[in-house]
Amino acid sequence: MAKLNILVTGGAGYIGSHTVKLLSEKGFNVVVYDNLSNGHREAVENVKFVEGDILDTERLSSLLSEVKFDACIHFAAFIEVGESVKNPLKFYKNNVAGTLNLLTLLKKYNVKNFVFSSTAAVYGNPEKTPIKEDFELKPVNPYGNTKLAVENALRDMSNAGEISYIALRYFNASGADESGLIGESHNPETHLIPLVLKTAKGERESIKIFGTDYPTKDGTCIRDYIHVNDLANAHILALNYLIEGGKSDVFNCGYGIGYSVREIIDTAKKVTGIDFRVEETERREGDPAVLVADNKKIKKVLNWKPQYNDIEYIIQTAWNWEKNKRF
């Protein structure tokens, strides 16, 4: 059977690069398209790479006319919630207008299968937990709004027969590939686990806990941390499902288990063997107490079987990367 050609936008980013590695290992022919605004060229050394922006119609058209793609996995997006609040236009332009530009060209070149990086941020502050896919969608920041806008466009396009898509709503992607060759590298870094590990490494003076009076077991926020390789595998299952004629759908990507900020810090101290300074401070505006996925649907429909559902393993792989970061 001929190798399937997969276009991966934003493939040089954190989740993208882990998915690209897995796609290559599974025998797909991958082309990464990334403007390197947040991605790293070193993260995707062994596949065809095109530097370009999703708003650059000419460059994207040229690639789509040159390679007959079977599907597109779309990671390219700005992700920092705080920045989205300060600079919403930047986020709408890239995450919404950029994606619509990509979708317009995919339609023109008859690429029908589309896997989209969505987010648990589309749920906003849900009234109960675990969160199911059919809960009300009411994002509380521009980042979540941009992702929901794209989900709405995809649903309408799918209803009109223009596309088949899977939107994967990520919870907290974390950890790194066991090889130690790729991992999480954001600038600035805003995610808890790398921030905690940078504190252990001595790059930061302390780690802050924002709020210790939440209605949770230890008063700190609870989140659903999913290892990046389990997330990468969900993309491959989604891709195969669409290629085999599966219908458009949305799925949560999480383990259905939550860990508190304090538990993450304590586990990091155990894994690293380093005691570091922790500061307790006021709540941050807009932080829900608990965000945990109900993952029954993805397990049932895509037969997703998590392999790395172990918070110690997640933090250990992140620590191995943090100690020997290549980029």
Q: What is the full DSSP assignment across 153-190?
A: HHHHHHHTTS-EEEEEEE-EEE---TTSS-----SS--
The token pair that represents 314 in the structure block: 């997640």
Q: Examine the residue annotation and report whether 143 is marked as an active-site residue of this protein.
A: yes
Percentage of residues of the chain with pLDDT beyond 90 = 97
In angstroms, the CA 208 to CA 217 distance is 18
Kindly give, in sequence order, each residue whose CB lies less than 8 Å from that of residue 316, ignoring residues fewer than 6 positions away.
271
Over 90: is that where the pLDDT of 286 sits?
Answer: no
pLDDT for 176 equals: 98
Are 193 and 268 within 8 A, CB to CB? yes
Closest of 185, 172, 173 to residue 322, by C-alpha: 185
89-124 per-residue burial string, b: 16 or more CB within 10 A, e: under 16 = eebbebbbebbebbbebbeeeebbbbbbbbbbbbbb
Give residue 285's pLDDT band: very low, low, confident or very high (50, 70, 90).
Answer: confident
pLDDT at residue 307 tops 70:
yes
Q: Which of 123, 143, 170, 241 is catalytic?
A: 143
Q: How far apart are CA 5 and CA 28, in angstroms?
A: 6
Q: Are strands 5-9 and 71-74 parallel, antiparallel or unpaired?
A: parallel
**Confidence bin at 105 (pLDDT 50/70/90):** very high
Please state, in angstroms and rounded to a whole number, the distance separating the CA atoms of residues 259 and 278. 17
Check whether 326 has a pLDDT greater than 80: yes
- Of 48-62, 171-185, 217-231, 280-294, the range with the lowest mean pLDDT is 280-294
Residue 312 confidence (pLDDT) above 90: yes
b/e per residue 166-203 (b: at least 16 CB within 10 A): bbbbbbbbbbbbeeebbbbbeeebebbbbbbbebbbee
Mean pLDDT taken over the chain = 97
CATH 3.90.25.10 range(s) for the chain read 192-223+257-297+307-323
Other C-beta atoms lying within 10 Å of the C-beta of residue 143? 24
What's the CATH architecture for 192-223+257-297+307-323? Alpha-Beta Complex (3.90)
Cα distance between residue 3 and residue 66, in whole Å = 16
Q: What is the pLDDT of residues 128-142, one digit of tens each?
A: 999 999 999 999 999
* 49 CA to centre of own chain: 20
The domain defined by 5-175+225-254 carries CATH number 1.10.260.40 = no
pLDDT attached to residue 1: 63
pLDDT given for residue 2 in this prediction: 76
pLDDT at 100 over 70: yes
* DSSP designation for 121: G
267 within 8 A of 312, measured Cβ to Cβ: yes
Write the pLDDT tens digit of every residue in 247-270.
Answer: 999 999 999 999 999 999 999 999
d(CA 263, CA 270): 10
3-state SS class at 324: coil
